[in-house]
């Protein structure tokens, strides 16, 4: 339970953090109307990236790591809908982004995700969902996949310190892939989220935490060898600690409430491992939650793609497109039961959520607004 005393203390901490972080950076965000994953996707995504100054300046001669959004188990669907038409980023969006990055001179592209409770290679995980990973493999000239839910191909985890202190943890131990890249891209599905209110490019990065350290079955002292279960006990509820080898909570007396904890961890992660390019796909999606395991969820067709080089700005625009106010605080939609991740990331100096300051290219928010709560 969040008390009045806790709220006041939180506000004071936030003000201090904001002061330390200075003015939150701002970058333009591009929006494109996109109704299908068919032939129109290529010109749409070209226009999208042109709207933020092109991909060349970002990826030319660089190693690009792309965190995709493949949440939940691959054997689970919303009704009969393939995962990509509901809760996963669509492989054609991933493939097209890679194709255009390749064209813009990307040296190497690595596809990253922490698949549910397994050390299986990502390709196998995709096949279990019914995907053909060769479509992604052949989208650019040098493509690699890595399962980041455990140690993976490295000898040790990489420690990412949260600038300006951090809300929940001072630093996070992650798979090497999030360090061994020049450009970090988050390709997310635009959805509501049962715990965090909304899930966009920043919340997608919740999944960069390896469950060998932050999972329900993580090792007590040292990371486990294989990821077991989700992050419910360590991150959502705080019922247990991450492996002791990793940095521990800053405030162990803080609320054991997912609506408090998850947005803070997401903000921390985005400060520690900033997103260089945020792509939010809402061509086809789902309403009412982030996956088929949430009751009352249903398919919807928002019909847009959004991109930007600042994740907070990009998520703020996407939040508005989905019919919410990115400046809303706890208690107001979509943050009825949680804190606003955008505000928490802003406090850490990741970016601004103030729509009056963010330049929008391509379509405007009003042109593509899709009130997901009404879907």
Partner 1 sequence: MPQFHPLPLRWTGTLPAGDLAPLNCLYGGGAGMPALTGAQIPKGAQWPSVRVNKRGGAEAGPTGAPWLNANGWLIRRARHLEPGKPVVIDAQPPAGARPGSYVLAAVEAMTYGAAWAVTHTPETWPGVRGAIQFFTAHAEWREWAPVAALTVVSDFTGDDEFLGDEFLNLLTRRQVGLRLAAPGNVAALQGAGAAVWASKKPVPYAQYMGWIRSGGTLIVQGEANSRTEGKGRVIGRAEEWDDVYAAVTGTHLAMTRRTDVLRLWNAGSFNSFYQAAPDGRRGVAHLVNYAGNRSSDDTSIWLSKPWKKATLTTLDKQTPLKPMATNGGIELSLPPVGVYAAIELEA
For residue 124, the minimal CB distance to partner 1 (Å) is: 5
Among 14, 127, 244, 355, binds partner 1 (CB under 8 A): 127
73 binds partner 1 (CB under 8 A): yes
Indicate the burial class of 22 (C-beta count within 10 angstroms; 0-12, 13-18, 19 or more): exposed
Among 132, 220, 336, 367, binds partner 1 (CB under 8 A): 132
303 binds partner 1 (CB under 8 A): no
For residue 132, the minimal CB distance to partner 1 (Å) is: 6
Part in contact with partner 1 (CB under 8 A); list of ranges 20-28, 47-55, 75-83, 308-316: 75-83
For residue 120, the minimal CB distance to partner 1 (Å) is: 6
79 binds partner 1 (CB under 8 A): yes
Part in contact with partner 1 (CB under 8 A); list of ranges 68-76, 236-244, 261-269, 348-356: 68-76
Among 2, 228, 244, 375, binds partner 1 (CB under 8 A): 228
354 binds partner 1 (CB under 8 A): no
For residue 80, the minimal CB distance to partner 1 (Å) is: 4
Q: Which of residues 294 and 345 has its CB atom nearest to partner 1 in the complex?
A: 294
- How many chain residues bind partner 1 (CB under 8 A)? 20
For residue 77, the minimal CB distance to partner 1 (Å) is: 5
Distance CA 235, CA 168 (A): 9
137 binds partner 1 (CB under 8 A): no
Alpha-carbon distances, residue 169 vs 26, 179, 251 (angstroms)? 25, 18, 8
75 binds partner 1 (CB under 8 A): yes
x/- site string to partner 1, residues 97 to 116, per CB under 8 A?
-------------------x
76 binds partner 1 (CB under 8 A): yes
371 binds partner 1 (CB under 8 A): no
Among 3, 5, 22, 80, binds partner 1 (CB under 8 A): 80
Among 128, 180, 325, 359, binds partner 1 (CB under 8 A): 128
Binding interface with partner 1 (CB under 8 A): 73, 75-77, 79-80, 116-118, 120-121, 124, 127-128, 130, 132, 226, 228-229, 292
């Amino acid at each position: 339970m969040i008390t009045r005393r806790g709220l006041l203390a939180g506000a004071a901490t936030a003000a201090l953090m904001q002061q330390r972080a200075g003015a939150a950076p701002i970058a333009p965000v591009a929006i494109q109307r996109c109704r299908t994953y068919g032939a129109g996707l290529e010109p749409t995504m070209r226009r999208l990236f042109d709207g933020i100054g092109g991909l060349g300046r970002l990826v030319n001669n660089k190693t690009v790591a792309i965190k995709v959004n493949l949440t939940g188990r691959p054997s689970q669907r919303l009704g009969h809908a393939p995962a990509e038409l509901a809760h996963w980023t669509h492989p054609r969006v991933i493939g097209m982004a890679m194709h255009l990055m390749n064209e813009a001179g990307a040296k190497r592209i690595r596809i990253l995700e922490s698949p549910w409770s397994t050390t299986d290679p990502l390709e196998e995980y995709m096949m279990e969902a019914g995907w053909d990973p060769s479509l992604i493999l052949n989208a650019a000239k040098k493509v690699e996949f890595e399962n980041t839910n455990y140690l993976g191909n490295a000898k040790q985890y990489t420690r990412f310190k949260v600038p300006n202190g951090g809300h929940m943890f001072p630093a996070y131990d992650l798979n090497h892939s999030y360090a061994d890249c020049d450009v970090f891209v988050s390709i997310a599905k635009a959805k509501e989220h049962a715990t965090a209110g909304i899930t966009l490019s920043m919340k997608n990065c919740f999944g960069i935490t390896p469950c060998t350290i932050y999972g329900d079955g993580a090792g007590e002292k040292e990371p486990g060898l294989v990821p077991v279960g989700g992050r419910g006990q360590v991150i959502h509820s705080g019922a247990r600690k991450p492996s002791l080898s990793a940095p521990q909570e800053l405030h162990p007396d803080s609320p054991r409430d997912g609506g408090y904890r998850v947005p803070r961890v997401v903000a921390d992660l985005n400060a520690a491992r900033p997103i260089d390019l945020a792509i939010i796909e809402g061509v086809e999606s789902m309403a009412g939650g982030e996956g088929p395991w949430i009751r009352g969820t249903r398919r919807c067709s928002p019909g847009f793609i959004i991109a930007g080089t600042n994740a907070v700005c990009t998520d703020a625009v996407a939040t508005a497109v989905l019919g919410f106010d990115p400046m809303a605080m706890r208690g107001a939609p979509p943050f009825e039961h949680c804190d606003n991740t955008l505000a928490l990331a802003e406090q850490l100096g990741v970016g601004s959520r103030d729509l009056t300051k963010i330049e929008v290219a391509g379509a405007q928010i009003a042109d593509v607004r899709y009130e997901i709560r009404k879907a």
